[in-house]
Every structure is written in C-alpha cells, then in structure tokens.
Structure 1
Amino acid sequence: MNAPASAVEPVLRIENLTVAFRVEDHWREVVKNLSLTVNAGETLAIVGESGSGKSVTSMAIMRLLNMRHARVSGKVLLNGVDLLTLSESAMRDIRGNAVAMIFQEPMTSLNPSFTIGNQIAEALINHRKISKRVAREETIRLLEKVRIPNAAKRFNDYPHHFSGGMRQRVMIAMALALRPKLLIADEPTTALDVTIQGQILDLIKTLQEEEGTAVLFITHDMGVVAEVSDRTLVMYQGDVMETGTTAAIFSAPVADYTRTLIATVPQLGAMRGITGPRKFSFDQRDASETNAVSTSQQPLLSVKNLSTRFSIHEGVFSRKTGAVHAVENISFDLMPGETLSLVGESGCGKSTTGRSLTRLVTPDAGEVAFDGYDVLNLSVHELRTLRRAMQMIFQDPFASLNPRMSVLEALTEPFLQHRLGSKTEARTKAASLMERVGLSADMMKRYPHEFSGGQRQRICIARALMLDPKMIIADESVSALDVTVKAQIINLLLDLQQSLGLSYLFISHDMAVVERISHRVAVMLLGEIVEIGPRAAIFENPQHDYTRKLLSSVPVPDPARRHVKRQIDISELKSPVRALGFVPEARRYREVSEGHWVME
C-alpha cells in the first residue's frame, strides 16, 4: 500500500496546535505548537512516553477535552474543515461519521449494561437512519470483518463475555461502523497479550487496505511503530522532537531522545549466544551480562504437581456445577540467584501460579517446598515468616500502594510489623533502599499520587526489599510501563539480583522482555506448562506449536516489515472451565536437550 501523492489534500492537517490545562492559578502547556498531516490510506504514528502529549492531542482532535479546564488554540482541519470552530451539534455528526477513535481500555469504553450488538447498531441507527433489522445485519457483517467467531450468535453477548482482545476487536468494529475517513488509535494494543496484539495490528492493516482509511496511531512502543506506520512523529513533554518517514527515523534518528527510545526496544534474537540475562544499554555500548546460575545447588523453590481450581456455583441454591482449572498439575524448580519466567496469554494460569506459591489463593493439590518450608502445610504464623523471604511485586503499583500512606509509611510498615528493628532503623533502611532503586530519600514524605508509574514501581520494589527476601515474584511488573522506564526497571532488577543473589519468578506475556531477563522459561497454556527449558533453547529452538505462536506474534522493530502480516490464528483461547468430575488426562513430556522439556 503506497501513500498517496503529496499534491492530494490530506485527510487531517493540524497547524500549531497548543493545548494547556489550568493548574491552580496558571495555565500549563502540555502540547506546544504541534503541526502534522495524515493522508488517505496512510498511517502516522505519534510516539513518546506517558506525559508527552500524545493522548491529549487525540482528545483535542475529537473535541473531548473539558473546556472549563483546558485551552486549545491552532487549527485542526479535517478535509479542509476546522473542527475547532464547529458547534457541538456539528461535532457530534463528525464523531463516528468522519472521525472515529479506538481507546486504550475497551472495557471502560464499552457500556456494560448493553449488548455488544446493540452498542454498534445504535450508532448505525442514529447516524444512518436505518431500520433495526438492517442495522443488525450490518453489525453482524462488521463483527465478522473484525474476525469475531460466531458473530451472529454473539450479537446479544455483553462486554464481560468477551476476552480483552475480542473487546478491542468490538471497539474497532464500532469505530469503523460508519466508514470514517480518519481513525485515531490511542494505545490500542498496550494492555493486550502479544498474540492478541499481533492480531489487532494485522486487522488494522487489512481494514486500512480495504477502506483507504487514514490512521493516526498513538503508542509508546517503537516495535509497534515500526510495524504499522508510514511516517513517525516523536513527542517529548509536549514538544515535537523529530518527524519523518519511519524508515528514516529508525535508520538515522536525529534526536538523542529518539535514539534512546529505539535503543531500549527489546528485540527477539538480540540475546543469541549470550548465556545469562543482559541489561539494557542506553548509550549503544554493549551492556554487562549477569552471571550464569549454578545447577549444582539445591533448588530454592521446588514445585511438584501443583493444581489450583476455582469452583463455579450456579442456580438459586448456588450449587457447584464445575470448576475453572486455573493451574493444572505443574512442576518446576527455581535455583538461588536464578530468574525463571512464566509466559503465556491472559487466562493461562501465570498469575494464579504466583498467588498459589504465596498462598494468596489456596491450591487444591501438589507440593511447594521453599527454603526448607513445606509451604502448603504452614500455620498462619509460619506463613508470615515465609512471606518475609518470598515477596511479590504486582502489575499496578498505584493499586499496590495505600494512597493515604506516605512512601515512608509504606516502606517502613512491613519492617515494623515483622519486628525487625526500631523506627529509626526502619527509616534508615528505607532511605538506603530509595537511593538503591534510583530515587531520592527526600521523596519519602510524598504520597503515591505524586509519582510517575515508573517511580511507583521502584517504590514497590524497595518495599519488597525491606524484608531482605530470597525470592521475588514479579507479576507483570513492567507490562504497563513506557519503554524507557521498562528498561530502567529491568536493569534495576538485574542489578539487585547480582548484588543480593535474589531469585525471580518473572510472570509476563512480553516475550522480548522475557528473553532479556531470564535464565529459564516456562510456557503455560490453559493452566499447564507445555514447554520449559533454558532461555536460549526456548527462543532459538521452540518445539511446541504454542511457543512458536507466541514468538511469531512479537512486533519486530524493523520498518521493512511494515506491510507484512503474520496470519495468526484468530481463535480465542479455549476455556479452562471443566464440568464436575472431570479428570485431566496424564501428560507426557519429552526431553529435547538438556533441561529442555516439551509436552507431547
């Protein structure tokens, strides 16, 4: 697909767009003199970290900012018409008809009280003035177009009946319902599993080819930028750092900030020939490699035949009718100073495994031995002692921190609860750990809302270290972070592993990050480990079909692949729900090479 000639009037032209928000008694500019164009059939990516002004730009285009607290100047020309001069009623006709938007979080964008089909049909009825029957037929056609299996049967399903990837497909169908000339995609794949992300990117490419839609794609992921965009605009704190063709941006970036963004994109295959994890390098020099783990030691953690199920109750009398087999008969070891990564899509049992090991959920069967403890048979008092040595870092640092507690209180509370020392000793240790994770001890008097997402995650790491753990379970701890912040947090984790001898159970769906940080990798599907082995074996010689699917879905930061589609199977992950009395079949594993096992 070639971009149209420059002589053609662009679908979108922005001239000197400036957006400011009122902060107490003054105006703070968050987008400064932004100018850009997007042609029909072309994709322009706006890339930058959180706070760069990307999403504010999209909201200004759609006129969705609260004008009591925002001030917008400049021109936003859609097919020559300045949207900033239109009345609200005229703008309502533009939204959906001429410009449509896909938001980052589909669950909050869809109305949970209405069925999927009715939400799409409503827009068709209101804007096209067609009958309900015709709207239903058109909605089913749209759902089929975005590859929703059994679209006619799922017309009356509610949003909570769909997976995250399928909800995002519904949002795309809704956005394309009225065949807009411009599609704004604001971080449409950030929170999705890697396979779902690949499907969504392929889908946008296909629909763009079919409809000739202009796409403004907003993201902080340079790998995604390379795969979808014809041109790229890089923003930082409201300013345009550079703009140009995507190929030129990647091959010869001009701005230091752009070079940093590209340098911190994890690339599959970059670890070939390297035995241990390796830190990110921000100055293009070779980064240091961490030590390999000795296999002659006794495992710090040994898991055997672990199963965790959640009962399903239905009917007036809440009768048990089945169970979710979240974790099914898995076994693995974790050595001192080692990182074992659990990977797989949402619903595969990764997080439930981590919570089962700490007994935040109660397993149904199996054995868990940790540092001499029989974890599943500990008393409440013994479990408290165990959790000193086995800490957990969660995905959302803001939800993990009490908004009413200062950082000092959050850090010192576990130390004091376990009676490990005085308040003075707790404060001293907290200050030392703040410095260790790259923050100032002076920041401890602040509250969580006063920090960025990356800083909050550093605070959660410092809190986990307050009790001198031997093992940390990191549950999607970098998934929602900007690419540069993600690289900094991974470097921090590797530094701490080197200096403190920590073991990590790293739970993630980001295969490129997993390749960077892991010694060994276990691939999970429907609660079972389908392949496990050394990092190099999994990434360079994957044996299971599902492992190959995960690896083939990772965005490659190479603009030459811009119009290449992966042709990923679009079927949803099968359900782990089983009827009462279900007995899973015995699984057999084959050893491909030393320590590399695959389910037959």
Structure 2
Amino acid sequence: MTSTPVLSVQNLTTSFLIDGEWKSVVRNVSFDVRPGETVAIVGESGSGKSVTSLSIMRLLAPGSSRIEGRIELAGTDLLALPEKEMRGVRGNGASMIFQEPMTSLNPIFTIGRQISEVLTRHKGLSKQEARAQTVRLLEKVRIPNASSRFDDYPHQFSGGMRQRVMIAMALASKPKLLIADEPTTALDVTIQGQILDLIKVLQEEEGMSVLFITHDMGVVAEIADRTIVMYRGEAVESGPTEEIFQHGKHPYTRALLSAVPRLGSMRNHRWPTRFAVVDMKTGETAEPEEIADTVARGRTPVLAVRNLVTRFPVRSGLFARQTGAVHAVENISFDLFQGETLSLVGESGCGKSTTGRSIMRLIEPTGGEVALDGYDVLRLDGIGLRNMRKTIQMIFQDPFSSLNPRMTVGAAIAEPFIKHKLGTAKEAREKTVDLLRKVGLSPDMASRYPHEFSGGQRQRIAIARALSLDPKVIVADESVSALDVSIKAQVCNLLLDLQQSLNLAFLFISHDMAVVERVSHRVAVMYLGEIVEIGPRAAVFENPQHPYTKKLMAAVPVPDPARRGIRRGISSDELKSPVRGMDYLPPKREYREVSAGHLVQMA
C-alpha cells in the first residue's frame, strides 16, 4: 500500500441547527483510508457513524447542518468545492450505497436506465455504449441473465438483487472510494454473506478503497483491515481490526464485542440462556445465566398446528382471473407447549411471518387446523376471535408503526384491557403501571408519546401492550432484528425473564441464527413455505441435517478477524419463487427422525 491516503478526514465536526442552537453530533473525528484498504466505522444507533459518511459526501441539508474540519479525497479538499463541482465528485471519485436499496432506486425507471444515466453523465458515453457497459456491470455483480434484466424495474428484484444493482451503479464510474452505509443490515443472512463476498471480490478486481459503516461486529471482522469505534459522536478507539478484537482498550469497544451473540456459544448449555449484560460505559460484563426449564411437556400443547396451508391468489389478464397461487405456507405442523420457545427460522419469503399471522387469523389460512388453548381457531366467528386473542398476542418488528403516535404509551398499553372489558379505568391504570415496571420502564413514562422513546424502549412498550391481556402465547415476529446489539440483548433477556415468571409460550420468528440459538427450546427451519427440519435446539444447531439448514448456519458472520480471507463462494441464486400454477399438486412430504424429536424432510 502507498502511504498517500485516498481519503483523509481531519477533525471532522458536524453540527445541526436545533431550536436555534448548533448542536454537534460528530466531534473531532480523524482517520485515513489508504488505497485498496477497507476501513470500518462501527457503533450503535446515534453514535454518529452515518452522519460521518453523509458529511464526507456533503449530503446533509446545507441550511440546517454545518460541517467543519478537513475532508480530502485524492488530495482535493471536498469542503472547499462549490456544489456543482461536488456533484461531479459524487459517483465519480466516491460512490455510496445505502441500507435500503428500494429507497435509493427510482421505482418508475428501469434499473438499466438508472445505471446508464451514471455512465452518460459522468463518462459521456452514448446510449448504446452505456447499455453495453451496464450489462457488463450487472454481470460483474453476479445478476443472472443481465441483458434480459436491463429493462426490469426495481420492484421486480429481490432485496439482495436490488443491493447488487446499487453496487453496480456505485461502481459504474470506477470510483476510488466506495462508502457502504449499513448495506447488509436489512438482508437475510445468506444474502448478507453473498454481498460481503461480492464487495471483497470487486475491491480486489477494481483496486478501490472501502469505508464500511455498520453496527455488526461479525461483519466488521469479516471485511475490515482497520476499525474505528464511535460512541456518542466521537471516535473512541481505532486500529487494526485484529488488535481491536483481541486487545480493545475502551470500555465501549469491549462492551460491543461482549454483547455480540456468537453461533455455537450454547454448546454446553441445556436450556435457553440470558445474554451477557454489558455496561456500555465501564465495559463490565455480568455473566449470562441459564434459564431454568419451565416447559410443561407431556401435557396438551397450548398451540397445536396441523397441516396449515396459506395461499394467495395470483391474478392476471383483463378480467383478473386467477392464474396461479403463492404457496406461502404449505402443509406445516407443530406443537407449542406452555413455557416453551419454538423458533421459526428462514430467509425472507420462506413463509415464517405468514405462519404467525395465519395462526392469529390476521391472514385467513386456506386449510389445516389450529387448536389454541381449547379454541378451534379456524372456525371462530368475530366474537370468538376477539376472545381467542386474549390467549395469543403478537409483537412486531417495528414497534413505532404498531403504536399510535397520537396516543400516550400508557393509553396504548391500557387499550386492550379496556376494549376487552377486563376491569375498570382504575384497574387499567394499575395494570399499566405494573406492566411498565415488568418491562423495565418507570411508571411516570406512561404520559409520554412513542416518539419520545428510543427503539429499544418502544419495543419494551410493545411487549407491555402484548402482556396487558395476560396471554398464554406470544408470537414475536422479528421483534429484535432491527435493534442494536446491546439493546437486542436487553430485550431478549426481558423476554426470557417474562417467560419464566409468567410461564409464557413464545413462537419466535427470526432470521438471526445466533439469537435463535440463545433463546430457543426447539427450532423449526422453513424453506419455501415448508418446515424442512425441526427439533430440539441443541440437535438442530449441533447436528444440522438438511442442506438448507447447513447453508443458513454457514452464512452467519463470525466475529473473528482470522476469517477475513474466507470466501463462501458468491452465488447468484435467489430464493426460488413460491408461485405455482392452478394445476400444481404439492408433493407428499416424508420426514425421518434423526434423534428424539429431531425430524428432517427427506428429499
């Protein structure tokens, strides 16, 4: 590597105008990115890492933000450039890819046109030359049938393929620097692995530098040569990635590393185990405790699902006749016992969330049987459904969208209790105070509104609301996937504590294998609407049998810098489509028992 950096940031301070005052959110941050190097900026939400990247690209609103310090890209001071010249730098000298590609791609233009526009604007290519170059770029990022997909629109691509399109667009002008801001956070674990591999391979081929922004220490270990740890707007530690992981000095660095769930860490634990609780200021760790077994096995399950089928019609033509169906859930069966956590795992589109919603009749199943604490769920009328939902409640991925922004959190928690006429207004208030304490919040917070809380606190409020009817079963649908690692650990510990004290049964829906390993009694792996493997947590994780289960586990990023040279092998495969024709008959599936309760679908 040459000593001259591609990017040099010196004493970067970024402030925002809030209530007439300038408040700094990034303070005196300095670092270099050398040619061909990958530097990761890591930290939790609010640490200032994304504001740092947006400051470098000068993408913050000029009237309400102020950027101070010095930012040099290949020797050019970006802060001194007029906006017109800065537009020439963006996409040409430095390119950026974001967390959610669908918000970065224009839905009304084809992906080919959007990439070609970069080439015609920055490189002056003709339309024909730009089209040919765009197809080459799409092939480079491993999009199958690139020439035929040139005229497709963003909505016709999966999340992983859309992110590949964004990478192709970012690489169009052969930039010296690629800034990747949480590019894999919203993706399934297997797609995340493919994107990380793709960035590594393209970096080697193009010789570009990468500034990678993330809160995932597993991703940092796999991709970064050097790491900068940010905490509350300041760079608290930086150095070679191996040094940071093995000899991190700052308490926050040690806390981040301690809070990362590691696949395989449950090998010597028989029951679900609390996450290590880490003090982010001191770095001190309270050792995790194993949860006592509370499962009432051998009795009638609180939830019994038999041959559940959920399909959605596909219509086409002038008269919108049904021409096929999405086989979202296909003939699945399982039991859930009181005090047990059964996790449904798999990639987006595998049918796990549809399963949870079908059980609750938020989506109408096509067939099968669901027995819930004595209710025949699929035969219930409106009044019966209302009564049934006292027994089963749901916690969603995004608590902000499930809470009414115009309602105080106290009113939101009390609402189900009042609607179901379970007591007086005074009893509802007492219940709310009790629930807020149970989820680790103070009763005086009841008068606040959802926007006044952090993401982790809002998820605690959503949990309190779900508990207001004293349910026996909770469906937790990706309820911790959007949270920072330390908050995720706190919420998972809360769920485990509540399960033990209230004897709750959890149907835990997730694609995060390390979290699932930690909290589960049993695990069911779903693929294309079917359960392909189910069994006790230890059996599935320590002796996976189905190829898809093995693929899921192999894709999990491991927080070990020694794995940085590893390549999983980039695949251009997408999850197969669950859309079937009208004449499709699902094959009869057979399962073999590998060990007690460990069943695997036979090919």
Q: TM-score, normalised by structure 2?
A: 0.98
Alignment-mate amino acid for residue 586 of structure 1: K
Range moving further from structure 2, 327-336 or 567-576: 567-576
Contact 1:549–1:568, Cα closer than 8 Å, also in 2: no
Instruction: Measure, in 2, the Cα distance between the counterparts of 1:436 and 1:260.
Output: 25
Correspondence list, 1:292-331, <5 A:
292=293, 293-331=295-333
Instruction: Measure, in 1, the Cα distance between the counterparts of 2:429 and 2:286.
Output: 37
* Identity between Structure 1 and Structure 2 (%): 66
Describe the SS at the equivalent of 1:15: strand
Contact 1:52–1:237, Cα closer than 8 Å, also in 2: yes
Contact 2:315–2:323, Cα closer than 8 Å, also in 1: yes
Describe the SS at the equivalent of 2:91: helix
Describe the SS at the equivalent of 1:325: strand
Contact 1:18–1:34, Cα closer than 8 Å, also in 2: yes
**Which one of the candidate residues 241, 244, 247 is aligned to 1:246?**
241
- Aligned twin of 2:31: 36
Describe the SS at the equivalent of 1:96: coil
Instruction: Measure, in 1, the Cα distance between the counterparts of 2:339 and 2:397.
Output: 22
Contact 1:117–1:139, Cα closer than 8 Å, also in 2: yes
Instruction: Measure, in 1, the Cα distance between the counterparts of 2:271 and 2:572.
Output: 34
Correspondence list, 1:381-420, <5 A:
381-420=383-422
Instruction: Measure, in 1, the Cα distance between the counterparts of 2:349 and 2:108.
Output: 24
Measured after TM superposition, the shift of residue 581 of structure 1 is 2.3
Instruction: Measure, in 1, the Cα distance between the counterparts of 2:30 and 2:435.
Output: 44
Describe the SS at the equivalent of 1:97: coil
Q: Deviations over 1:110-147 (max 9, x none)?
A: 00000011100111011111111111111111111111
Describe the SS at the equivalent of 1:49: coil
The list of structure 1 runs, each at least 4 consecutive aligned residues, that deviate by more than 6 angstroms after superposition, is: none
2:440 paired with 1:438: yes
Contact 1:471–1:504, Cα closer than 8 Å, also in 2: yes
Describe the SS at the equivalent of 1:152: helix
Q: Deviations over 1:375-405 (max 9, x none)?
A: 1111111111111110000111111111111
Size of the aligned set, in residue pairs, is 595
- Aligned twin of 2:505: 503
Contact 1:411–1:466, Cα closer than 8 Å, also in 2: yes
- Aligned twin of 1:48: 43
Describe the SS at the equivalent of 2:532: strand
Measured after TM superposition, the shift of residue 285 of structure 1 is 4.8
Instruction: Measure, in 1, the Cα distance between the counterparts of 2:469 and 2:46.
Output: 33
**Which one of the candidate residues 356, 366, 376 is aligned to 1:354?**
356
Describe the SS at the equivalent of 1:119: helix
Correspondence list, 1:209-220, <5 A:
209-220=204-215
Correspondence list, 1:352-501, <5 A:
352-501=354-503
Instruction: Measure, in 2, the Cα distance between the counterparts of 1:25 and 1:89.
Output: 29
**Which one of the candidate residues 165, 181, 189 is aligned to 2:184?**
189
Measured after TM superposition, the shift of residue 294 of structure 1 is 4.2
- Aligned twin of 1:289: 290
2:52 paired with 1:57: yes
Contact 2:198–2:570, Cα closer than 8 Å, also in 1: no
**Which one of the candidate residues 273, 278, 286 is aligned to 2:273?**
278
Contact 2:517–2:537, Cα closer than 8 Å, also in 1: yes
**Which one of the candidate residues 262, 265, 268 is aligned to 2:263?**
268
Range moving further from structure 2, 290-299 or 199-208: 290-299
- Aligned twin of 2:281: none
Measured after TM superposition, the shift of residue 186 of structure 1 is 0.2
- Aligned twin of 2:79: 84
Describe the SS at the equivalent of 1:67: coil
- Aligned twin of 2:514: 512
Measured after TM superposition, the shift of residue 514 of structure 1 is 0.6
Describe the SS at the equivalent of 1:178: coil
Cα gap change, 1:106 to 1:155, in 2 (>3 Å): same
- Aligned twin of 1:172: 167
Instruction: Measure, in 1, the Cα distance between the counterparts of 2:572 and 2:440.
Output: 42
Q: Deviations over 1:142-196 (max 9, x none)?
A: 1111111111111111000000010011101110111100000000000100000
Contact 1:205–1:563, Cα closer than 8 Å, also in 2: no
- Aligned twin of 2:578: 576
Cα gap change, 1:80 to 1:568, in 2 (>3 Å): closer
Q: Deviations over 1:321-376 (max 9, x none)?
A: 11100000000011110000000010000000000000000101100011111111
Instruction: Measure, in 2, the Cα distance between the counterparts of 1:163 and 1:218.
Output: 22
Instruction: Measure, in 2, the Cα distance between the counterparts of 1:483 and 1:367.
Output: 37
Describe the SS at the equivalent of 1:157: coil
- Aligned twin of 1:113: 108
- Aligned twin of 1:15: 10
- Aligned twin of 2:525: 523
Instruction: Measure, in 2, the Cα distance between the counterparts of 1:110 and 1:568.
Output: 23
Describe the SS at the equivalent of 1:307: strand
Q: Deviations over 1:173-229 (max 9, x none)?
A: 110111100000000000100000000000011011111111110001111111110
- Aligned twin of 1:557: 559
Gap runs ≥5 in structure 2: 279-283
Measured after TM superposition, the shift of residue 50 of structure 1 is 0.6
Measured after TM superposition, the shift of residue 297 of structure 1 is 2.2
Measured after TM superposition, the shift of residue 445 of structure 1 is 1.2
Measured after TM superposition, the shift of residue 406 of structure 1 is 1.0
**Which one of the candidate residues 47, 65, 70 is aligned to 1:70?**
65
- Aligned twin of 1:336: 338
- Aligned twin of 2:216: 221
Contact 1:233–1:240, Cα closer than 8 Å, also in 2: yes
Alignment-mate amino acid for residue 353 of structure 1: T
Measured after TM superposition, the shift of residue 31 of structure 1 is 0.2
Describe the SS at the equivalent of 2:306: strand
Measured after TM superposition, the shift of residue 533 of structure 1 is 0.5
Describe the SS at the equivalent of 2:4: coil
Instruction: Measure, in 2, the Cα distance between the counterparts of 1:382 and 1:294.
Output: 26
Measured after TM superposition, the shift of residue 320 of structure 1 is 0.8
Alignment-mate amino acid for residue 75 of structure 1: R
Instruction: Measure, in 2, the Cα distance between the counterparts of 1:442 and 1:188.
Output: 38
- Aligned twin of 2:227: 232
Measured after TM superposition, the shift of residue 273 of structure 1 is 2.2
Gap runs ≥5 in structure 1: none
Alignment-mate amino acid for residue 429 of structure 1: K
Contact 2:263–2:517, Cα closer than 8 Å, also in 1: yes
Instruction: Measure, in 2, the Cα distance between the counterparts of 1:546 and 1:345.
Output: 10
Contact 1:195–1:568, Cα closer than 8 Å, also in 2: no
- Aligned twin of 1:259: 254
Contact 1:327–1:528, Cα closer than 8 Å, also in 2: yes
Contact 1:470–1:501, Cα closer than 8 Å, also in 2: yes
Instruction: Measure, in 2, the Cα distance between the counterparts of 1:364 and 1:542.
Output: 31
2:25 paired with 1:25: no
Alignment-mate amino acid for residue 289 of structure 1: E
Describe the SS at the equivalent of 1:268: coil
C-alpha root-mean-square deviation of aligned residues, in Å? 0.9
Q: Deviations over 1:418-473 (max 9, x none)?
A: 11111111112112211221212111111111111111111100100111111100
Describe the SS at the equivalent of 1:388: coil
Alignment-mate amino acid for residue 236 of structure 1: Y
Contact 2:229–2:253, Cα closer than 8 Å, also in 1: yes
